[in-house]
Amino acid sequence: MFISSCSRNEEVQPVSKKRYVLSNEYNNANNSAIAKYFVNDVPATIGDVSTSKIYGEDLEVSGTDVYVLASRQPISGGAFTAVIYKNGIELQSVPVASGVYYNCLAVSGNDIYLAGMEYPSNGVPKVIQWKNGTVTSITTNTGSAATDARPYDMTVVGNDVYIAGYETASASPYNRLPKYWKNGVAVTLNSAPGSYSTVHRIVVQGNDVFCAGQLDDKAAYWKNGVATTLSTESSWCYGIAVNGTDVHTAGAVATGANIYNAASWKNGTKTMLSNITVQGVASVYGIGVDGNDVYVIGSIPEAGGNGAKSVYWKNGVLTELPTVAGNNGYAYRIVIQ
């Protein structure tokens, strides 16, 4: 017997993906901070902005659920709390001691992971991991082996937990070493002695580990530890997405004195996204790919340099995300799935 899943006349329709973008708004004049996530440009506000200032730190999507890690502070001031939101509603408040700050989130099944740093008042920061309430130290900031270390991104693949960032060398010249930790074990990426280097984003596909960041003050990415420098100018890279054999990266490049413009690279070939000609920074925080469409998120300065706007570029075309009048904004995380 022969069984066919579809007839000759049926067409296989592509699976429709959704685009999720975490965006922050702030207004120092009225002491407000708002975090939103957009699903295909439709916004949802996170938490209660009438009582709290909320700063979105990271975004994860699991099935149909949207998770956001945020730092929350009462409008009247006081201590920050790390809060996990699910579909815009508070799921869990994470107690944090003084000097503890969480900025990375990952969700795997029923497990929720955070990464951050513990920064004592009289020392240097160390990387810590939180899983379902249990905290583990990834680096040490005490004794002769003390180092300055910070995380910027994390991902969970199967049973493996990856945290990416930097750690200073434990001996002279004490340079910042680009690193990721797999299940707590450090992997140091190649960099020049004395360099200022870090990893801002990490993607794992099969047996390949891709990292994006800064290599000696230049935008770069690594595949399985092999570095590709993306620019000869002062620059940085805050986004990486892998689509088949193509590696897409995004960041900002110096184009003049105190002028940085947004850029993306496909397999190392650069495309400029903005054209600021006065002092200012077009910031880029992430990149995502959906078929033939490439999305880069970030912010651009307002005309006259007063404030910033949350934006994304789709195939190089700029779109501004709606913000409350008078607020500054920046699009900070992107997930496409």
Residue-range domains of the chain with CATH: 108-336 (2.120.10.10)
Unique residue bearing structure tokens 């997405």: 241
CA-to-CA separations, 86 to 44, 61, 169, in angstroms, rounded: 12, 9, 38
pLDDT at 194: 57
pLDDT at 14: 54
Query: Please, how many CA atoms are within 13 Å of residue 104, restricted to the half-sphere of its CB?
Result: 25
d(CA 205, CA 211): 11
Rg (CA), the chain: 20
Sorted by sequence, the CB contacts under 8 Å of residue 332 that are 6+ apart come out as 22, 23, 24, 56, 59, 285, 286, 297
pLDDT at 248: 98
Amino acid letter, 268: G
| pLDDT tens digits, one per residue of 165-177 | 999 987 777 788 9
| pLDDT tens digits, one per residue of 103-119 | 999 999 999 999 999 99
d(CA 221, CA 219): 7
d(CA 141, CA 127): 9
Q: How many CB atoms lie within 10 A of CB 32?
A: 18
- Please, are residues 56 and 70 in contact by the beta-carbon 8 Å criterion? yes
d(CA 213, CA 113): 22
pLDDT at 196: 85
What's the mean pLDDT in 9-19? 64
| pLDDT tens digits, one per residue of 204-257 | 999 999 999 999 999 999 999 999 999 999 999 999 999 999 999 999 999 999
- Please, are residues 56 and 333 in contact by the beta-carbon 8 Å criterion? yes
b/e map 212-238, b = 16+ CB within 10 Å = bbbbbebbbbbeeeebbebbeeebbbb
d(CA 106, CA 53): 23
Amino acid letter, 290: D
Whether the pTM exceeds 0.85: the reply is yes
pLDDT at 8: 37
pLDDT at 316: 98
